[in-house]
Amino acid sequence: MVTIRITSKVASKLKVQLGHAESQSTGKLGDWYVNLLIIKRQHLLLAVSERTLLPIVMPARDLKLFPLRLSHDLELLLQQLGVPKKEIEAETREMLRWTFAKTASRQVLGSMNDFANLLDAYVDDGAPLLQQSLRLGRAPCRPLGMDNPLRATAALFGMTMPPEALKFVPEAVLH
């Protein structure tokens, strides 16, 4: 089970009352923080893992179903990082059950604001959202000791990632 910590903006769109999470997320990536962004007239969701700050950008359509899309998009992103299939399946299986809760970490929210500012510069080039997620994931983050979320996520899954990894991802892979 995963706790999805949504901002008040997302909670009002979903029409849910938020409380504090009663249980811990059971996935390696921990709780997920989600905010609604409007960038260049596009309605987007930005989801960020609490443990590694791994960002996932997705369309804000079908808002009630976004936890399922989050699991799917996470699977694609972890595949790009070379995470073993069994590890990906275990992580996404934990995401089949979720609960919504209030945000609890100002540090994660601050990183999300930084990602939103970066995303504002990236959106104009028309790259797929998975590519945007990978771009954001290469940004150094203070809460990670200026490491980036991609390397932090790889390390969480027991992998190492060379600095040049994921500089170019073929467009065919991202569709």
Average pLDDT over residues 159-165: 68
- How is domain 2-174 classified at the CATH fold level? Nucleotidyltransferase; domain 5 (3.30.420)
Report pLDDT for 165: 57
Average pLDDT over residues 150-167: 80
Close Cβ partners of 82 (under 8 Å, ≥ 6 residues apart): 154, 159
DSSP strands (E only) in 22-171 = 32-39, 42-49, 55-59, 98-102
Q: Where are the domains of the chain?
A: 2-174
Report pLDDT for 41: 85
- Whole-angstrom CA distances from 105 to 5, 114, 167 are 10, 15, 30
Report pLDDT for 35: 97
The Cα 175–Cα 23 span in angstroms is 35
Distance from the Cα of residue 109 to its chain's centroid: 12
> Is the predicted pLDDT of residue 174 greater than 90, yes or no?
no
Residue type at position 44: L
Report pLDDT for 171: 43
> Is the predicted pLDDT of residue 172 greater than 70, yes or no?
no
What are the pLDDT digits (tens) for 19-33? 776 778 999 999 999
Report pLDDT for 168: 44
Residue type at position 19: G
